[in-house]
Amino acid sequence: MLPDLDHTPWPPEVAAHYRAAGYWRGQTFGSLLTALTAAHAGRTAVIGEEARWTFAELDDRAHRIAAGLVARGIRAGDRVVVQLPNVPEFLAVIFGLWRAGAWPVFALPAHRESELRHFAGQAEAAAIVTVGVHERHDHAATARAVADDVPSVEHVLVLDTPEWAELAGTAPRELPDPDPEGVAFLQLSGGSTGLPKLIPRTHDDYLYSVRESARICRLRPESVYLAALPVAHNYPLSSPGVLGALHAGAASVLSPRPDADTAFRLIEREHVTITGVVPPLAAAWVQAAARTTRDLSSLEVLLVGGAKCGRELAARIGPALGCTLQQVFGMAEGLVNYTRLDDPEELVLGTQGRPISLDDEIRVVDEQDRDVPPGETGALLTRGPYTIRGYYRAGAHNATAFTADGFYRTGDLVRRKPSGHIEVVGRAKEQINRGGEKVAAEEVEDHLMAHPGVLDAAVVAVADQYLGERTCAYVVAAEGAAPTAPELRKFVRQRGIAAFKVPDLVEIVPAFPVTGVGKTSKRELRAALSELAALAPDLKG
Ligand code: AMP
Ligand code: DBH
């Protein structure tokens, strides 16, 4: 079994190559912000609904927060769960943590007590940074409940409180710059087994992907990036995201919500040039664009990714929004693919792009890990200068999530074009992609199994017109029990998990179909979904 390392390093000769090739440049996020501020001090860096900060203001805030965190006992290498909505403070907090040498653990606003307890516990976090009530949820109360359960958590820091104002007002001080090859933060994976795994990303590796993303998306100081999706997610954070925008000296607008009304208002107000959405949102924006009175003419590029963008939708985006479509297929574990802005239409509409780096190694393999012939479908394996070699403290999981020679098993089924462009054709992992929000089947199954009336549970994807996929939970009731679908959905919600993980459909069945070796056949369950009514009696056996 592999050891439970915080960070699985790249082999030394591979790391030497990444340095020599100029991918890893020995810069930290803190020193990047210092350099950006020197170059762009008076330019706008970040725009919220009300606030508008220059690079110099963001830099000053990050310095003060770093000093305030250190004064409260946060040390280099400490993990700090950050659960913030799309507000400018998000950037001040993460750069503050980076300057203090602490590692942000990026939770999403949608996460609830169960997930936060897992992140804080798994990371042995020293603190949680969050907000008070946001979108009718009391995040501060949730964070305090988590702190009560997780002994390592000593501080719950809540934005917009007197305590926070004091911390954020601390006099700046010089702090040692952390190791650029060391871990910078823990990102979350959508997961396919159990609870989400934590992904250790280094300053060097992540900055490489951010720098190249900014270049590939042609960001320049005059660009304006709109973060419509939750900014802690890897996609709006780095593909090219708010970090790519900062890197280019450009401004980022943080949208409180992703809906067309809010986003279009901000596009018009701030002359947004580029943004990124998931396919269902792209579809909603395409519809809304037909009747909007907002001026969207500043928009040059719309990135679409997180889930497969079908050709039909892809073809409608440019004409409807008056901009160039750029497909992006990425993962928090590393590898990011983009269609290029000068790619022929056939590739832009029909593929999910090609890798960022010439040193992104791609293998497309069959079930025995043998390369399939060029152009045929297989499972995507990858390794490269910004793809992790192991999850955080997850030796046993790493043994199966990676090949012995360090390739990450993405779980995606793909085909490769002669140009190197990748078409995503399906998935081999037990994950439901709910319009870009990933749901690990096992995590939801475990919550269902906690109900006394549930003997067995299997969660599968069901095709959905809007989201691409939704979740369906098949449940076998315990003897003498008769749980109902609404009861089970409520039960799962009350376990304190993100709303997007609560099963959309719950079907109570007498038994599951099994495979030849007696495992629950999810394939048959999925097939059964399309003819549910007719098949239900046959599920016995
Ligand atoms: P995560 O590992 O949670 O960051 O999620 C990454 C996964 O999202 C990938 O492995 C794919 O399954 C899926 N994904 C991301 N972008 C796309 C895309 N453009 N098309 C299809 N699937 C995507
Ligand atoms: O889905 C993702 O995780 C994702 C999508 C697009 C991602 O991590 C990214 C780009 O960087």
**Cβ of 332 below 6 Å from ligand 2:** yes
* Whole-number pLDDT of residue 190: 84
Does residue 108 have a pLDDT over 60?
A: yes
What is the domain partition of the chain in residue ranges?
431-535
The secondary structure element, H or E, covering residue 244 is helix 241-247
* Residue to probe by mutation, ligand 2, list 231, 235, 238, most atoms within 8 Å of CB: 235
How high is the mean pLDDT of the chain? 95
| pLDDT recorded at residue 540 | 31
User: What pLDDT shows up at residue 195?
Assistant: 80
Check pLDDT > 50 for residue 539. Answer: no
pLDDT score at 194: 75
User: In which band, very low, low, confident or very high, does the pLDDT at 532 lie, cut at 50, 70 and 90?
Assistant: low
Give tens-digit pLDDT for 249-258: 999 999 999 9
Q: What is the pLDDT of residue 522?
A: 79
Report whether pLDDT(541) > 80: no
Nearest CA to ligand 2 atom 6: 330
Q: Is the dihedral of CA 521, 526, 531, 533 positive or negative?
A: positive
> Could you read off the pLDDT of 472-523 as tens digits, one per residue?
999 999 999 999 999 999 999 999 999 999 999 999 999 888 777 777 777 7
Ranges 16-30, 87-101, 510-524: which has the least confidence: 510-524
> Angle, to 10 degrees, between the axis of helix 485-494 and the axis of helix 441-449?
100
DSSP E strand boundaries for 55-151: 79-83, 103-106, 127-130, 133-134, 137-138
| Mean pLDDT of the 349-378 span | 98
Sheet of 468-477: strands edge to edge?
454-464, 468-477, 505-509
530 has pLDDT over 70: no
Mind listing the pLDDT tens digit for each residue in 67-94?
999 999 999 999 999 999 999 999 999 9
State the Cα–Cα distance between residues 30 and 27, nearest whole angstrom. Answer: 8
pLDDT in tens, 334-351: 999 999 999 999 999 999
Helix axes 55-71, 89-100, angle to 10 degrees: 50
Check residue 531 and give its pLDDT. 58
CA nearest neighbour of 309 among 287, 289, 286, 329: 329
Q: Is 11 exposed, middle or buried (0-12, 13-18, 19+ CB in 10 A)?
A: exposed
For residue 484, give the amino acid letter: T
- pLDDT at residue 441 tops 50: yes
pLDDT in tens, 167-184: 999 999 999 999 999 999
Q: What is the pLDDT of residue 518?
A: 75
Mean pLDDT, residues 33-40 taken together = 98
d(CA 42, CA 10) in angstroms, rounded, equals: 39
**Which backbone phi and psi does 540 adopt, to 5 degrees?**
-60, 150
Residue 485 pairs with which residues in a beta bridge?
A: none
Residue 410 vs residues 122, 378, 458: alpha-carbon distances, Å: 22, 11, 22
Index of the ligand 1 atom closest to the CA of residue 427:
12
* Three state DSSP letters for 245-290: HHHCCCEEEECCCCCHHHHHHHHHHHCCCEEEECHHHHHHHHHHHC
pLDDT of residue 114: 96
Position in ligand 1 atom list of the atom nearest CA 352: 19
Task: Give the pLDDT mean for 88-103.
Answer: 98
Nearest CA to ligand 2 atom 1: 306
Ligand 2 lined by 235 (C-beta under 6 Å) = yes
Q: For the CA atoms of the chain, what is the radius of gyration? A: 23
Q: Which atom of ligand 2 is nearest to the CA of 303?
A: 6
- Name the residue among 363, 432, 447, 372 with its Cα closest to residue 403: 363
What is the 512 CA–ligand 2 centroid distance (Å)? 34
Residues 6+ apart with CB under 8 A from 485: 505, 506, 507, 508
Label the pairing between strands 431-434 and 437-440. antiparallel
| Fold of domain 431-535 | GMP Synthetase; Chain A, domain 3 (3.30.300)
CA of 251 to the centre of ligand 2 (A): 21
Residues 392-410 have a mean pLDDT of: 97
- Where does the pLDDT of residue 193 fall: very low under 50, low under 70, confident under 90, or very high at 90 and above? confident
Answer yes or no: is pLDDT of 223 > 50: yes
- Measured in residues, the chain has a length of 541
Closest by Cα among 345, 294, 340 to 317:
345
* Whole-number pLDDT of residue 514: 79
- pTM equals 0.95
Is residue 30 lining ligand 2, measured as CB closer than 6 Å?
no
Q: How confident is the model over 235-281, as pLDDT tens digits?
A: 999 999 999 999 999 999 999 999 999 999 999 999 999 999 999 99
- State the sign of the Cα–Cα–Cα–Cα dihedral 319, 275, 333, 442: negative
Per-residue pLDDT, 61: 98
Q: Is the dihedral of CA 501, 505, 506, 509 positive or negative?
A: negative
Percent of the chain with pLDDT over 90: 91
